[in-house]
Amino acid sequence: MHSTATPATPATPATPAATAATPVTAVTATHCPYCALQCGMGLTAGPSGGVEVVERAAFPVNKGALCGKGRTAPALLSSRVRLTEPLVRSHATGKLAPATWEEALDRIAGELSRVRTEHGADACGVFGGGGLTNEKAYALGKFARVVLGTSQIDYNGRFCMSSAAAAGQRAFGLDRGLPFPLEDIPRTGCVILVGSNLAETMPPALRYLTELRENGGTLIVVDPRRTRTAEQADLHLAPRPGTDLALALGLLHLVVAEGRTHEEFIEERTSGWEEARAATMAHWPEYVERITGVPVPQLRETVRMFCEAETSMVLTARGPEQQSKGTDTVGAWINLCLATGRAGRPLSGYGCLTGQGNGQGGREHGQKADQLPGYRKLTDPAARAHVAGVWGVDPDALPGPGRSAYELLDALGGEVKTLLLMGSNPVVSAPRAAHVEERLRSLDFLAVADVVLSETAELADVVLPVTQWAEETGTVTNLEGRVLLRRRAVSAPAGVRSDLEVLHGLAARLGHEKGFPVDPEEVFEELRRASAGGPADYSGISYERLREGDGEGVFWPCPDADSDVPEPAPGVPGPAPGILEPAPNVPEAAPGADVSVGAAVAPHPGTPRLFLEGFATEDGRARFVPVVHRAAAEETDAEYPVLLTTGRVLARYQSGAQTRRVDELNSAAPGPFVELHPRLAARLGIADGEAVAVVSRRGRAVAPARVTSSIRSDTVFMPFHWPGEGRANSLTHPALDPISRMPEFKVCAVRLERAERV
Ligand SMILES: Nc1nc2c(c(=O)[nH]1)N[C@H]1C(S)=C(S)[C@@H](COP(=O)(O)OP(=O)(O)OC[C@H]3O[C@@H](n4cnc5c(=O)[nH]c(N)nc54)[C@H](O)[C@@H]3O)O[C@H]1N2
Ligand SMILES: Nc1nc2c(c(=O)[nH]1)N[C@H]1C(S)=C(S)[C@@H](COP(=O)(O)OP(=O)(O)OC[C@H]3O[C@@H](n4cnc5c(=O)[nH]c(N)nc54)[C@H](O)[C@@H]3O)O[C@H]1N2
Ligand code: SF4
Ligand SMILES: [Mo]
């Protein structure tokens, strides 16, 4: 498919026209702008001068396959609806009007200075995104802490995989979404896929599940809806939303009752089993059936399939994670893996399917409220000293941890007076979105950098038009922990600048002429040093290395074999020697080989598989966590008798800011809908296609009914990709997980009403 470049026309503020994107070379090997699979693709000049996608079959993750979103991504490069000039809100008219870059950056820097002087550094907020490259995420975190001196920075990844990250840290001492490459999946015996609709959210990855079944393995899918993914399963469990914790505990109870625990593994590789076992004991199968709605025979069958396979895996995605008990829920699934010896061994383990393009790398390099680059903790004195050394600042000058994403958005207009936002559209995607929108409006000053005028950018005082994926180079880390080079393939239209240029320009205006280079490779070189010795160690990875071969990337941790990497400080779980396993086909140094000073040292091969020799905890053992079931923040009652859950559809990405501007995708997924069971529809007198109002304690949304028996009859589903009347997040509950601070996107109580019209 190719997108036709739009001829340049006189720009107006409402629909600035992009100049044609010009391919730089014949075919550039690069990656999709959207999800965490980071499919490889080639970009070249199409027949009419536009940009065309060509297959990049050698890239191992997707082997050339792309979903419709990736295939149509170039359409936005030359689209008339992208931003090509800065917009500044006029004091006189109150409207956004075109301005020069100097005016726009001066205005932002001026407001940030004023607010910092009047109210202190913490009155300046920063909000980032898991779609930003490693370099941008790193620079944004450094900008917040060094230039603004604020603790108030967080990002949309908090809404994404933060519960799985917290649970992984707690159990394994390290969070890398998948501790093994995707290619291991077809070779295991059984996969339990919990709350992932892979067939729509990462279509090329469905291949791994198909191959699993072709190889004789079994697939169990846990989802309140019979999704396209669940249709592929040998067994589909359809629990009531928000009850995965009870489900996992019920399975573990059966494992114990049926004598299926792996005593040797528990003894040698784990700690805390007694407490976790005791916590499980109350979760009798019949009790769990009552909570979850999953029949006891299905629980028993799940345990049989999982334990009778020689190797097995549990993979989770947003279903069980986006709950106010997401961390404990993932913890319970990890406990199941540990008790059965399905972790830290080849072809067995727990993994989280991270979501955004750089969902993995974006959570490692410092845009998170509590974190420094290299996945270091902001509260750890040794980590502060190391990073402050790289940044050339006094460790004591670095602020402490700030508010989490929702808490930060909730504080806007209160203690936080200004916000600089890059790579997110919270007006559509944040929980209790009407409240968040109202908070954004109450700010003294809002600056947004985006490629399009998103619903959040519409509220801004200054909007900065930035370059897109194919117009800039940067690294991303996919859901496997594979660091990849996303190459620039086309030139950007005149008038746009990169996020790195934005941060450089603002830093310079705020007294930091140095320290914010605009060349991504230069930023990466600094990131390497900042991450050296940390849990997510990138110091052995360079652009040069990422350009090698078919660009299949390097898995972190990858310390620099050539340099004196500082020993991890106590309390910083460094890449323990035990967890490293050389990549296949990379020769290891022969035993006794001379690796003394002066001898050439083979580069570290990267770490495709973690934990095989030991976990990243201080004692090398995985930690069981005793968890018990608890209710959702909001249960159904007489007034709000139905459960609402939310999620995604194939042809839309996230808040839709990008994909709603691609014609082909608009016809595939024209608008919001409410999925409900025929019995529920009949009770309410609602026919397929009729308008239905969904009402919660937070608000109301209206969309056409989609009547289908593939959903539980006590639950309705809405995708969250649209603003306005059909905005699902008008309804969602902002209850937060106490550990990860993840909001409860996947369950709240609603009532349905017939609506006049959509
Ligand atoms: N097409 C498309 N693909 C995407 C994205 C996109 O927006 N569109 N976004 C990317 C991102 S950032 C992410 S995070 C991933 C998300 O990828 P997924 O996690 O696969 O996406 P969701 O649709 O949010 O949720 C998955 C499933 O969870 C189910 N579910 C709902 N409530 C529960 C529950 O209580 N328990 C269980 N077990 N399941 C439940 C839903 O029915 C849904 O089918 O997708 C990535 N890929
Ligand atoms: N109800 C409900 N709500 C949810 C979820 C759910 O399942 N249910 N899922 C949550 C999840 S998992 C996620 S990840 C969030 C995502 O929700 P958002 O954070 O809103 O994600 P996007 O829509 O991807 O927003 C990215 C914005 O940044 C712009 N952009 C893209 N690339 C760049 C870049 O390089 N630089 C800059 N400056 N801008 C860029 C895009 O045009 C877009 O406007 O939504 C969350 N919200
Ligand atoms: S699956 Fe994800 S990375 Fe691959 S083409 Fe689709 S959106 Fe892009
Ligand atoms: Mo996400």
pLDDT by residue (tens digit) across 521-535? 999 999 999 999 999
Whole-number pLDDT of residue 47:
79
pLDDT by residue (tens digit) across 493-551? 999 999 999 999 999 999 999 999 999 999 999 999 999 999 999 999 999 999 998 89
Ligand nearest to the CA of 38: 3
Whether 227 maps to a domain, the answer reads: yes
- The C-alpha torsion from 509 through 513 and 515 to 519, rounded to 10°, is 90
The answer on pLDDT for 8 being more than 80 is: no
User: CB of 655 closer than 6 A to ligand 2?
Assistant: yes
User: CB of 740 closer than 6 A to ligand 2?
Assistant: no
* pLDDT class of 393 with cuts at 50, 70, 90: very high
The stretch 370-389 carries a mean pLDDT of 97
Whole-number pLDDT of residue 338:
98
Whole-number pLDDT of residue 599:
57
Which residue, 352, 380, 404, sits at the end of a domain? 352
Give me the residues paired with residue 490 across strands. Answer: 23
What does each C-alpha distance from 425 to 155, 156, 364 come to in angstroms? 11, 9, 21
Report the predicted TM-score, pTM, of the whole model to 2 decimal places. Answer: 0.93
Whole-number pLDDT of residue 717:
98
Lowest mean pLDDT among 132-136, 297-301, 592-596: 592-596
The stretch 249-271 carries a mean pLDDT of 98
Residues 343 and 427 in one domain: no
User: What are φ and ψ of residue 512, in 5° steps?
Assistant: -115, 80
Q: Are 429 and 729 in contact (CB under 8 A)?
A: yes
pLDDT by residue (tens digit) across 307-332? 999 999 999 999 999 999 999 999 99
| Separation of alpha carbons 369 and 402, rounded Å | 5
- Site to probe by mutation for ligand 1, drawn from 318, 706, 744 as the one with most ligand atoms within 8 Å of Cβ, is 318
What Rg value do the Cα atoms of the chain yield, rounded? 25
Whole-number pLDDT of residue 567:
45
Residues 276 and 171 in one domain: yes
138: nearest Cα among 403, 503, 486 = 503
Whether 463 maps to a domain, the answer reads: yes
CATH classification of the domain holding 187? 3.40.228.10
User: CB of 244 closer than 6 A to ligand 1?
Assistant: yes
What does each C-alpha distance from 64 to 54, 375, 608, 631 come to in angstroms? 8, 32, 21, 44
Whether 211 maps to a domain, the answer reads: yes
Q: Are 54 and 44 in contact (CB under 8 A)?
A: yes
Helix 162-172 / helix 326-339 crossing angle, nearest 10 deg? 40
Length of the chain, please? 758
Residues 138 and 179 in one domain: no
* pLDDT class of 22 with cuts at 50, 70, 90: low
* pLDDT class of 601 with cuts at 50, 70, 90: confident
Say if residue 671 is exposed, middle or buried (CB neighbours under 10 Å; 0-12, 13-18, 19+).
middle
Whether 652 maps to a domain, the answer reads: yes
* pLDDT class of 758 with cuts at 50, 70, 90: low
The answer on pLDDT for 21 being more than 90 is: no
Residues 650 and 717 in one domain: yes
Q: What is the mean pLDDT of the chain?
A: 92
Whether 55 maps to a domain, the answer reads: no
SS3 assignment for 164-201: HHHHHHHHHCCCCCCCCCHHHHHHCCEEEEECCCHHHH
Give me the residues paired with residue 292 across strands. Answer: none
Say if residue 101 is exposed, middle or buried (CB neighbours under 10 Å; 0-12, 13-18, 19+).
middle
Amino acid (one-letter) located at 69: K
Q: 99 alpha carbon to ligand 2 midpoint, in Å?
A: 26
Q: 160 alpha carbon to ligand 1 midpoint, in Å?
A: 10
Whether 475 maps to a domain, the answer reads: yes
Ligand nearest to the CA of 651: 1
- Site to probe by mutation for ligand 2, drawn from 476, 655, 737, 740 as the one with most ligand atoms within 8 Å of Cβ, is 655
Which residue, 478, 497, 531, sits at the end of a domain? 531
219: nearest Cα among 247, 188, 196, 190 = 190
The answer on pLDDT for 16 being more than 80 is: no
Residues 367 and 307 in one domain: no
The stretch 367-394 carries a mean pLDDT of 97
The stretch 553-557 carries a mean pLDDT of 97
Residues 155 and 167 in one domain: no
Q: 638 alpha carbon to ligand 4 midpoint, in Å?
A: 33
Residue whose CA lies nearest to ligand 3 atom number 6:
67
pLDDT by residue (tens digit) across 631-678? 999 999 999 999 999 999 999 999 999 999 999 999 999 999 999 999
CATH classification of the domain holding 368? 3.40.50.740
Which residue, 328, 352, 376, sits at the end of a domain? 352
Q: 462 alpha carbon to ligand 1 midpoint, in Å?
A: 33
Q: Which residues surround ligand 4, an ion (CB under 5 A)?
A: 160, 355
More confident residue, 279 or 46: 279
What does each C-alpha distance from 95 to 83, 348, 425, 445 come to in angstroms? 16, 57, 20, 14
Residues 390 and 325 in one domain: no
Q: 41 alpha carbon to ligand 3 midpoint, in Å?
A: 10
pLDDT by residue (tens digit) across 84-99? 999 999 999 999 999 9
The stretch 349-364 carries a mean pLDDT of 97
- Site to probe by mutation for ligand 1, drawn from 223, 325, 660, 664 as the one with most ligand atoms within 8 Å of Cβ, is 223
The answer on pLDDT for 142 being more than 50 is: yes
Residues 418 and 342 in one domain: no
SS3 assignment for 321-357: HCCCCHHHHHHHHHHHHHHCCCCCECCEEEEECCCEC
Query: How many domains, the chain?
Result: 3
Ligand nearest to the CA of 745: 2
Q: 534 alpha carbon to ligand 2 midpoint, in Å?
A: 28
Q: Are 230 and 215 in contact (CB under 8 A)?
A: no
- Site to probe by mutation for ligand 3, drawn from 43, 53, 62, 66 as the one with most ligand atoms within 8 Å of Cβ, is 66
| Separation of alpha carbons 249 and 234, rounded Å | 21
Q: How far is CA 643 from the centre of its chain?
A: 25
Q: Are 519 and 136 in contact (CB under 8 A)?
A: no
Residues 745 and 660 in one domain: yes
Whether 537 maps to a domain, the answer reads: no
Q: 65 alpha carbon to ligand 3 midpoint, in Å?
A: 9
Q: Which residues contact 1 (CB under 8 A, 6 or more apart)?
A: 52, 53, 71, 72, 664
Residue whose CA lies nearest to ligand 2 atom number 28:
423
Q: Are 331 and 276 in contact (CB under 8 A)?
A: no
Q: 162 alpha carbon to ligand 4 midpoint, in Å?
A: 10
The answer on pLDDT for 187 being more than 90 is: yes
Give the chain's end-to-end CA distance (angstroms, integer): 33
Domain range enclosing 724: 642-754
- Site to probe by mutation for ligand 3, drawn from 30, 34, 41, 76 as the one with most ligand atoms within 8 Å of Cβ, is 34
* pLDDT class of 18 with cuts at 50, 70, 90: very low
CATH classification of the domain holding 671? 2.40.40.20
Whole-number pLDDT of residue 48:
79
Give me the residues paired with residue 42 across strands. Answer: 29, 54
Whole-number pLDDT of residue 46:
83
Residue whose CA lies nearest to ligand 2 atom number 14:
160
What does each C-alpha distance from 675 to 636, 703, 711 come to in angstroms? 18, 10, 8
Q: 251 alpha carbon to ligand 1 midpoint, in Å?
A: 23
Residue % of the chain over a pLDDT of 90: 89
Neighbour count for residue 147 (Cβ, 10 Å): 23
350: nearest Cα among 624, 117, 742 = 624
Q: 200 alpha carbon to ligand 1 midpoint, in Å?
A: 9
* pLDDT class of 13 with cuts at 50, 70, 90: very low
Residues 331 and 408 in one domain: no
* pLDDT class of 593 with cuts at 50, 70, 90: very low
Q: 553 alpha carbon to ligand 3 midpoint, in Å?
A: 17
Whole-number pLDDT of residue 120:
98
Whole-number pLDDT of residue 582:
34
Q: 159 alpha carbon to ligand 2 midpoint, in Å?
A: 10
pLDDT by residue (tens digit) across 707-728? 999 999 999 999 999 999 999 9
Give me the residues paired with residue 469 across strands. Answer: none
Whether 603 maps to a domain, the answer reads: no
Residues 287 and 384 in one domain: no
Chain position carrying tokens 């908070």: 439
User: CB of 357 closer than 6 A to ligand 2?
Assistant: no
Atom of ligand 3 nearest to the CA of 33: 8
Residues 377 and 298 in one domain: no
Whole-number pLDDT of residue 757:
66
User: What are φ and ψ of residue 216, in 5° steps?
Assistant: 95, 0
User: CB of 488 closer than 6 A to ligand 1?
Assistant: no
Amino acid (one-letter) located at 614: G
What does each C-alpha distance from 83 to 73, 125, 492, 530 come to in angstroms? 16, 24, 11, 33
